[in-house]
Amino acid sequence: MKKSLLFSGGAGLAIAALALAMPRAEAPAQAAEPVALVADSAYPERPLFGDTHLHTTNSFDAFGAGNRLSPNEALRFARGEEVMSSSGIPAKLSRPLDFLVIADHSDAIGVTTDLYNTPEADLADPVLKRWRNMLHGDRKEAYSVTREIIASFQSGNIPKDLIRPDRVAAMTRRIWDAQIESVERYNEPGKFTALHGFEFSLAIKGNSLHRNVIFRDGADKARTVLPFPSNGNKGPEPLWDFMEAYEKASGGQLLAIPHNPNLSNGVMFAMTGPDGGPMSAEQARRRAAREPLVEVTQFKGDSESHPYLSRNDEFADYGDAGWENGNAPLSATKSPEMFGGEYAREALKRGLLIEQRTGANPYAFGMIGSTDTHTGLATADEDNFFGKFSNDEPNPDRMNTIVNPGIAQSRIGHQYLAGGLAAVWAKANTREAIFDAMMRREVYATTGPRMSVRLFAGWNFTSSAFSGNWVKTAYAKGVPMGGNLAAGKGVPSFIVQALKDPMGANLDRVQIVKGWIDAKGHTHEKIYDIVWSAPKTRKLVKGRLTPVGDTVDLTTATYTNSIGAPELRTVWRDPDYKKGQRAFYYARVLEIPTPRWVAYDAVRFKVQPPAGAKLKDQERAYTSPIWVGAK
């Protein structure tokens, strides 16, 4: 019980579980009323679902594409209130989120708004003049210029006038202070957590090295800094310097979450350090300490696995199409040797390689999903996709949007995913508890559905593990997802439990993805189907499980839960474990096939999806790994 204060002994689990609000002993400096304080439970009792990656009108590209929703409206929407979208559609989540991080681009924050508001005559630069006029144009024009601004930003050709330091500093301060104010107003410990954050959108020659930065702290500390810009930096190290300086000066805490490694052309998970030489132990330790998580699934594709890297994984291609064509603006196409530095599973293996050489693992990360929405609306379901940008809010043409105008290999609108969520096993719905769960990697990614997934590793779990208060026992005798299983006797065993989204689709199967390194320094992976629905009729044949079936009706964009299972759980022992082996294990949970957002759009707008558009898929969850065999 971390934060009991007035909460005295005898308050057992049951009471803690109520997330009982207690008055705070001393009022915070800024608030007029005492803020409720929420006690931590003894162990995490339910996953909290949230979005760590939301853009409001303050992001330069979001505004450019038509977003007019402020942090206030984004927070109201995430809490379940109805808001009017930028394109004039009333929008309300059927289920509120548990938490939200507003992560506007720190670079050029507010500049498109400012450019839009500047009289034409005041602009000298012909590029800015043209951009400004296009921002005032129709939806397509404004979107196309926004892509151009992103591309110019990503390739370092942004007009200097637009990011003049004095102008940007004043604007950033004004916007950051207003955002902090909003986030404080909507943060309600125990009910809904609003976290301070920003996106550090570093790109090197178009190769995406973006990070979302999250504060554990409140307004008093967050106000002491400004969102740290990426422009002019050559790597993430200056961000880590910023984080260290902030923590030292304020006593607060920050973490950074890389996203879209799939758009980095192989540089996100490099084997090398910033100087181009082999990564050192010190560099590896620093990265792991600053970046405990990776956002592996969001609108712009899924970065868990790629078929090029995982030839024996029949489900490796989820959310890869289009995004795999090159870096973020497609200023450079992809060659196969780049994939290894881009997809999380391979990065986890690279981590073992670097660890074997240096003794430190830079890529010992947990996994979350989020949206990266630029509409201010945190929508993560297939049936409520509000589009990456406001110009792609529900309309019949958005499945055909040319994402990278003027480029032959452009991604097409239908290749956007409907977004993911971050599931966090926190001990309370508070900033502190959520942040701490992220730091210990007790989190998982979902591609939108709110399935509940538990994973524990231990040396002594048997099939009788699911009796009594098994969760409590599992915490006592093992480690949860994100943990390191200390050396022990026998075979690593895993308790895996997956409960379907109560409002969603049944489950097809649970898999364990194992990666390991052998004595010769080669890495390997293997996927085990460990529990599945209808086990009487579905069998493993030559390592392949009979498919679960498919109930999707594309004429109505519906499915039925007549196949699959509401819950899958088992205890699994690694049959191939070799004593002393260094390995990681994570669970992948697959739902039965359901319609993609494109299929919902096709029915709602009575349009024919373009050839090649994927209309259904199996949504999924990826847990953070558990590492076994640390020296």
Partner 1 sequence: MSLRLKWRAALKEPLVHFLLAGLALFVFFAWRGDAVDPESRTITITEQQVERLAANWAQTWQRPPTQQEIDGLIRDFIKEEIYYREGLRLGLDQDDTIIRRRIRSKMEFLTSSELENATPSDAVLQAMLDKNPQAYAADARYSFDQIYLTAEDADAAALRAKQILGALGKGADWQNQGDAISLPRSPNDVDRARIAADFGEDFAAALAGIKPGPWSGPVASGFGLHLVRIRAVQASAKPSLKDVRQRLENDWRAQTVKVREAKAYQALLDSYTIRIAQP
Q: What are the residues binding partner 1 (CB under 8 A)?
A: 14, 17-18, 33, 46, 68, 72-73, 76, 81, 94-96, 114, 116-122, 133, 136-137, 171, 178, 181, 185-186, 188, 191, 395-396, 450, 452, 454, 466, 497, 499-504, 562, 566-567, 569, 605-607
β-strand pairing of 293-298 with 301-302: antiparallel
CB of 136 to partner 1, least distance (A): 4
In the three-class reduction of DSSP (H, G, I as helix; E, B as strand; rest coil), residue 450 is classed as coil
DSSP 586: E
- Residue pair 552/508 in contact (Cβ under 8 Å)? The answer is no
* Cβ 50 to partner 1 shortest distance, Å: 12
CB of 301 within 8 A of CB of 380?
no
Task: Look up residue 519 and give its two tokens.
Answer: 């004595």
Taking the complex as a whole, the smallest distance from the CB of residue 76 to partner 1 amounts, in Å, to 6
- Which one, 240 or 425, has the nearer CB to partner 1? 425
Q: How far is the CB of 628 from partner 1 (least distance, A)?
A: 25
The sign of the dihedral angle between the CA atoms of 387, 388, 391, 392 is negative
Comparing CB distances to partner 1, the nearer of 323 and 425 is: 425
Signed CA dihedral, 55, 56, 62, 67: sign only = positive
CB of residue 114 to partner 1, shortest distance in Å:
7
**What span, in angstroms and rounded, lies between the C-alpha atoms of 111 and 106?**
11
- Residue 471 or residue 554: which is nearer to partner 1 going by CB? 471
CB of 254 to partner 1, least distance (A): 25
Q: Strand 99-102 vs strand 193-195: parallel, antiparallel, or unpaired?
A: parallel
Least distance from partner 1 to the Cβ atom of residue 491, Å = 24
Shortest distance (Å) from residue 227 CB to partner 1: 19
Q: State the nearest-atom distance from the C-beta of 26 to partner 1, in Å.
A: 17
Q: Quick one: 526 or 569, whose CB is closer to partner 1?
A: 569
The owner of tokens 């986030």 is 183
User: Is the CB of residue 435 less than 8 Å from the CB of residue 214?
Assistant: yes
Minimum CB–partner distance for residue 302 and partner 1 (Å): 25
| Angle, CA of 63, 258 and 366, to the nearest 5° | 135
The single-letter code of the amino acid at 214 is I
Angle at 191 between CA 188 and CA 194, to 5 degrees: 50
Of 318 and 461, CB closest to partner 1: 461
Residue whose C-alpha is closest to residue 368's, from 474, 441, 311:
441
Distance CA 23, CA 578 (A): 53
Comparing CB distances to partner 1, the nearer of 81 and 529 is 81
SS3 142: helix
- Distance, CA of 529 to CA of 524 (rounded, Å): 17
Strands 544-545 and 540-541: antiparallel
Nearest Cα to 473, choosing from 483, 462, 484, 486?
462
Is the distance from CB of 531 to CB of 509 less than 8 angstroms?
A: yes
DSSP label of 434 = H
In the DSSP assignment, the letter for residue 259 is B
Residues with Cβ within 8 Å of 245's Cβ and at least 6 positions away in sequence, in order, are: none
68 vs 223, beta carbon nearer partner 1? 68
C-beta separation of 162 from 108 below 8 A: yes
Of 17 and 163, which CB lies nearer to partner 1 in the complex structure? Answer: 17
Token duo for residue 281: 């132990």
Identity of the residue, 181 or 247, whose beta carbon is nearer to partner 1 in the bound complex: 181
Q: From the CB of 435, what's the least distance to partner 1, in Å? A: 21
Between 14 and 611, name the residue whose CB sits nearer to partner 1: 14
Cβ nearer to partner 1, comparing 75 with 479? 75
Pick the closer one to partner 1 by CB: 125 or 605. 605
Residue entry with tokens 């162990």: 43
Q: Which helix (H) or strand (E) holds 113?
A: helix 111-117
Q: Which distant-in-sequence residues (6+ apart) come within 8 Å of 163 by Cβ?
A: 107, 108, 111, 231
- C-beta neighbour count of 582 within 10 angstroms: 18
| C-beta closer to partner 1: residue 18 or 245 | 18
- The total of other beta-carbon atoms located within 10 Å of residue 541's CB is 8
Output the smallest distance, CB 350 to partner 1, in A. 35
d(CA 252, CA 258): 20
Q: How far apart are CA 492 and CA 380, in angstroms?
A: 35
**Distance of closest approach, residue 503 Cβ to partner 1, in angstroms:** 5
420 C-beta neighbours (distance < 10 Å), count: 31
- CB of residue 32 to partner 1, shortest distance in Å: 8
- Cβ distance to partner 1 smaller for residue 163 or 171: 171
Give 434 or 499: the residue with its C-beta nearer to partner 1. Answer: 499
Q: Please, what is the minimum distance in Å from the beta carbon of residue 201 to partner 1?
A: 24
Nearest to 625 by CA among 431, 349, 380, 429: 349
Query: Two tokens at 110?
Result: 């507010």
